[in-house]
C-alpha cells in the first residue's frame, strides 16, 4: 500500500491493457474469418463488427484505469473503482461478443449493476441519489430485456448470435421488439429515460469517461445484434426512429443550454446516442457502429481532459473572434464550397448504391464543414487562408465519407441487412424538420410570440421541476405598522408598498380571499 498504491490499481489497468492488446491480435485473426469460442451451450463470437466494439471497450478501459491510478490517488473508493471498472469493461466486452441471447442478457445485467455502483462511488448524498435514479431507470430496461429473453427462449429457444440473428416461425415479434427497444432506450439514455445520465457527473472523472464512452453504447449494440427481432416489425422500427429523433433534439437543446464542461458533455452524449438510434432505425448499422466507437473515444478524451477548460477559456479570451461581418460572397462561399465537396462525394457513392448511412453522415459532415469554414472567416481576412479553410473542411468531410463507406463495405457481412420494415425516405423530412426547429430555437430566431414559446421550452428542457407549496397567492394581510415618518432606518409602510406592487401587476391585493 506504499504511496497509496494497491493491488487493484496495479493489476486492473494492466490486465485491461493486456486485453486490449489481445483484442488487437484477434483483429488480425478474425478479420477474414470470425472466431468462435465455445463455452458449453454458449460462447463468444468475434467478428469484424464486435471486434471494433471490443477494441473500443478495452482501449477506453485501459486508458481510463491508467488515468485513474493518478487521478484517484488517495480517494477512499479507489480500489472499488478498479474492481467495478474491470467488471464493467469485461461484461461490456462479453455483451458485444456473446454467442447466445442468454449470455448477452447476463452480461447486460452485470453492466447495469456495475454502472449503479460506479455512479454512487463517492458516497456523497448527491451521488447516492444519482445512483438511485440510475438504478430505477436501468431496472426498467433490465426487466424489459429479461422479459424479452424469456419470450424468445419460450418461442425460439436460446437463439444463436453467431452472425446476424435470424428467427424462423411465428412468435410475439412486436412485443419482443418493443421490450428490446425499451431496454436499449434506458441504457442509451433516450428520451424520456435520459434523466439518469446527467447524474453521472456526480461521479469522479474517470467514471464519467468510462460510462459515456463505453456503457451507454450498449443500447445500440444490443439493438443491432438483435436486429432480427427488432427490425422485423414496422411498428418497432418507426418507434425507434421517433425516439432517436426526439432524443437528438432534446439532447442538443440541453447541451446547448449548458456551459459547465461535464454537464454539456453529458447532455451531448444524449444527443449523440439519439443520432446512433436514428441511424440504427433506418438500417445504417455500420454507420451507427462507426459513430458509437468514434464518439466513445471522443467523449472519453473530453471527459478526461475536462480540467483544461479554465486554460482554454483564458486562451479564448485572449483571442476573441473578430466581430467584423464577412462580406456576402464570402459567406455564400463558406456554405457552398464544403457542401459542394461533401455532396459530390455523396453523389459518387450514390452511383454505387446509396445507403441511408451516407445520407445521414453526409448531412452532418456538411454541417460541420460549413461551421469550420465560417469560423475561418472570423479568424482572418486574408483570402488565401479563408479559401484554404473552406477547401480543407470540405476535403476532410468528403474523405471521411469515403472512409466510412469503405468501413461499411468491410463490416457488411458481419451486420444484419437493413430490414424491409425500415422507415422509407420520408423519415429524412421528419429529421430535417426537427433539426431546423432545434436550430431556430438555439439561435433565438423569431418574433415576440416565438420568444415566449422559447421561454416555455427553456423552462421545460433546462430548469429542474420545482414542486410548489400550497397557496401561492399573497399569503396574509401584512399588519399595518404604526410607524411615523420619523421611524429609524429605511422603513416603509407595507400597505403602500404592496399597493404599489398590486397596481403594477393588477393581481388581487393582499388579504383578499385566495
Partner 1 sequence: MTATTTDEARDRTPTGPAFLDPAGVVSAVFEAARPVTATWPLDTFVATNPLAWLEDRHFAEALDEAGRIFGPGRVAATPAEVLDLRDGGDRASRIDEQVATWCRLVIDDHATWGAPERDKGLWTAWRTVTGADRRLTDEGRGLARRLSADPAEAVAVLLAEAGVGADLAPARLRGHLTALPGWTALIRAGHRTRPGVDLVSYAAVRLAVERLLLGTRLLDVDPDLGRLDLDVDPDRRRAPIVDLAELEAAEATYRDGLLGALAHPVPSRGVAESVTPSPGGRPAPAATRRPVQLLCCIDVRSEGLRRHVEGLGGWETFGVAGFFGLAIRLQRCGEEVATDRSPVIVTPAVDAREVLDGEPVPDLRPAADDAFHVAKEGVAAPLALAEVAGWGAGAVAAWRTFRPGGRAGGARRRRTASHLELPASTLADRVDLAHGLLRTVGLTHGFARTVIVCGHGSDTRNNPFAAGLTCGACGGHPGGDNARLAAALLGDPEVRAGLAERGIEIPADTWFVAAEHDTASDEVVLLDVDRDVDPVDHEDRLAAVEAVLAAAGAALRAERAIDLPDGRRRGTARREDRRRRRRGRDWAEVLPEWGLAGNAAMVIGPRSTTAGVDLHRRVFLHSYAAEQDPEGAVLGAIFGGPLVVAHWISSQYLFSTLAPETFGAGTKATHNVVGDFGVLSGPSGDLRRGLPLQSVSVAGHRGHQPLRLLAVVEAPLARIDACLAANPQVAALVDGDWMALAARPGAGSPWSRRVAAGWEAWS
Give dist(CA 255, CA 262) in Å, integer: 10
Closest CA to 415 of 224, 217, 220: 224
Applying the rule CB under 8 A, the residues between 299 and 318 that interact with partner 1 are 299-302, 304-318
Applying the rule CB under 8 A, the residues between 478 and 497 that interact with partner 1 are 478-484, 486-494, 497
* Cell numbers describing residue 97: 461478443
* 464-473: Cβ within 8 A, 24+ apart: 471/514, 473/508, 473/512, 473/514
Residue number with CB closer to partner 1 (16 or 103): 16
Residue of 158, 171, 378, 428 that binds partner 1 (CB under 8 A): 378
CB of 508 to partner 1, least distance (A): 9
CA angle 173, 177, 179 (to 5 degrees): 120
For 124, residues 6+ apart whose C-beta sits below 8 A from its C-beta are 202
CB of 13 to partner 1, least distance (A): 9
For 166, residues 6+ apart whose C-beta sits below 8 A from its C-beta are 228
- Judged by CB under 8 A, how many residues of this single chain contact partner 1? 152
* Residue 72 binds to partner 1 (criterion: CB under 8 A): yes
Residue of 113, 143, 297, 410 that binds partner 1 (CB under 8 A): 297
Residue of 46, 84, 180, 361 that binds partner 1 (CB under 8 A): 361
Residue of 135, 194, 285, 291 that binds partner 1 (CB under 8 A): 291
Closest CA to 269 of 373, 199, 323: 199
* Cell numbers describing residue 416: 444484419
* Residue 451 binds to partner 1 (criterion: CB under 8 A): yes
CB of 482 to partner 1, least distance (A): 4
Applying the rule CB under 8 A, the residues between 122 and 141 that interact with partner 1 are 122, 124, 126-127
Applying the rule CB under 8 A, the residues between 317 and 356 that interact with partner 1 are 317-321
Residue 44, strand partner residues: 37, 98
* Residue 195 binds to partner 1 (criterion: CB under 8 A): no
* Residue 273 binds to partner 1 (criterion: CB under 8 A): no
CB of 184 to partner 1, least distance (A): 19
* Residue 502 binds to partner 1 (criterion: CB under 8 A): yes
CB of 319 to partner 1, least distance (A): 4
φ, ψ at 350 (rounded to 5°): -60, -35
CB of 437 to partner 1, least distance (A): 10
* 283 dihedral zone (left: phi>0; alpha: psi -120 to 50; beta): left
Give me the DSSP letters along 79-112. Answer: HHHHHHHHHHHHHHHHHHHBSBHHHHHHHHHHHH
CA distances from 306 to 40, 291, 309, 373 (A): 45, 22, 6, 26
Choose the stretch contacting partner 1; rule: CB under 8 A; options: 233-241, 405-413, 417-425, 504-512.
504-512
Residue of 159, 230, 255, 286 that binds partner 1 (CB under 8 A): 255
Choose the stretch contacting partner 1; rule: CB under 8 A; options: 23-31, 131-139, 407-415, 464-472.
464-472
Residue number with CB closer to partner 1 (155 or 301): 301
CB of 264 to partner 1, least distance (A): 8
Pattern 410-449, partner 1, x by CB under 8 A: -------------------------x--xx-xx-x-----
Cell match 471490443: residue?
54
* Residue 16 binds to partner 1 (criterion: CB under 8 A): no
Burial zone of 454 (CB within 10 Å; 0-12 exposed, 13-18 middle, 19+ buried): middle
Run of H or E including 38: strand 35-39
CB of 162 to partner 1, least distance (A): 29
Residue number with CB closer to partner 1 (347 or 500): 500
Run of H or E including 43: strand 42-46
Amino acid at each position: 500500500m506504499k504511496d497509496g498504491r494497491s493491488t487493484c490499481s496495479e493489476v486492473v489497468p494492466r490486465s485491461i491493457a493486456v486485453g486490449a492488446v489481445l483484442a488487437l491480435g484477434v483483429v488480425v485473426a478474425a478479420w477474414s474469418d470470425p472466431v468462435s469460442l465455445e463455452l458449453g451451450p454458449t460462447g463468444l463470437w468475434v467478428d469484424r463488427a464486435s471486434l471494433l466494439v471490443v477494441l473500443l471497450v478495452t482501449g477506453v478501459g485501459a486508458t481510463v484505469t491508467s488515468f485513474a491510478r493518478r487521478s484517484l490517488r488517495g480517494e477512499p473508493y479507489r480500489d472499488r473503482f478498479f474492481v467495478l471498472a474491470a467488471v464493467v469493461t469485461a461484461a461490456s466486452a462479453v455483451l458485444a461478443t456473446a454467442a447466445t441471447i442468454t449470455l448477452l442478457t447476463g452480461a447486460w445485467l452485470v453492466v447495469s449493476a456495475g454502472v449503479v455502483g460506479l455512479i454512487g462511488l463517492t458516497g456523497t448524498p448527491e451521488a447516492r441519489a444519482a445512483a438511485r435514479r440510475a438504478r430505477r431507470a436501468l431496472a426498467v430496461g433490465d426487466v424489459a430485456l429479461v422479459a424479452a429473453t424469456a419470450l424468445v427462449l419460450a418461442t425460439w429457444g436460446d437463439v444463436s448470435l453467431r452472425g446476424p440473428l435470424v428467427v424462423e416461425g411465428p412468435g410475439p415479434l412486436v412485443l419482443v421488439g418493443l421490450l428490446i427497444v425499451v431496454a436499449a432506450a434506458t441504457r442509451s439514455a433516450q428520451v424520456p429515460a435520459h434523466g439518469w445520465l446527467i447524474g453521472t457527473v456526480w461521479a469522479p472523472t474517470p467514471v464519467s469517461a468510462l460510462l459515456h464512452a463505453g456503457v451507454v453504447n450498449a443500447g445500440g449494440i444490443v439493438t443491432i445484434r438483435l436486429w432480427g427481432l427488432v427490425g422485423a416489425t414496422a411498428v418497432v422500427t418507426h418507434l425507434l426512429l421517433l425516439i432517436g429523433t426526439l432524443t437528438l433534439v432534446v439532447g442538443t437543446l440541453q447541451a446547448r443550454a449548458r456551459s459547465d464542461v461535464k454537464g454539456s458533455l453529458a447532455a451531448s452524449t444524449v444527443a449523440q446516442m439519439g443520432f446512433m438510434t436514428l441511424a440504427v432505425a433506418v438500417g445504417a448499422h455500420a454507420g451507427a457502429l462507426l459513430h458509437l466507437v468514434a464518439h466513445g473515444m471522443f467523449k472519453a478524451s473530453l471527459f478526461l481532459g475536462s480540467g483544461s477548460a479554465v486554460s482554454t477559456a483564458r486562451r479564448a479570451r485572449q483571442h476573441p473572434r473578430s466581430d467584423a461581418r464577412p462580406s456576402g460572397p464570402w459567406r455564400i462561399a463558406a456554405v457552398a464550397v464544403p457542401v459542394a465537396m461533401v455532396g459530390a462525394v455523396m453523389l459518387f457513392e450514390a452511383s454505387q448504391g446509396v445507403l441511408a448511412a451516407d445520407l445521414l453522415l453526409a448531412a452532418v459532415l456538411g454541417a460541420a464543414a460549413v461551421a469550420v469554414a465560417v469560423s475561418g472567416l472570423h479568424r482572418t481576412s486574408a483570402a488565401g487562408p479563408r479559401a484554404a479553410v473552406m477547401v480543407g473542411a470540405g476535403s476532410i468531410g468528403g474523405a471521411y465519407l469515403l472512409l466510412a463507406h469503405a468501413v461499411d463495405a468491410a463490416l457488411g457481412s458481419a451486420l444484419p441487412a437493413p430490414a424491409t420494415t425500415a422507415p422509407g425516405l420520408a423519415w429524412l423530412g421528419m429529421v430535417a424538420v426537427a433539426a431546423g426547429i432545434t436550430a431556430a430555437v438555439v439561435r433565438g430566431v423569431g418574433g415576440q410570440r416565438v420568444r415566449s414559446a422559447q421561454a416555455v421550452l427553456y423552462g421545460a428542457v433546462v430548469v429542474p421541476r420545482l414542486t410548489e407549496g400550497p397557496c401561492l397567492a399573497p399569503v396574509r394581510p401584512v399588519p399595518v405598522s404604526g410607524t411615523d415618518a420619523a421611524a429609524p432606518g429605511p422603513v416603509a409602510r407595507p400597505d403602500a408598498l404592496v399597493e404599489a406592487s398590486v397596481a403594477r401587476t393588477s393581481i388581487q391585493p393582499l388579504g383578499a380571499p385566495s
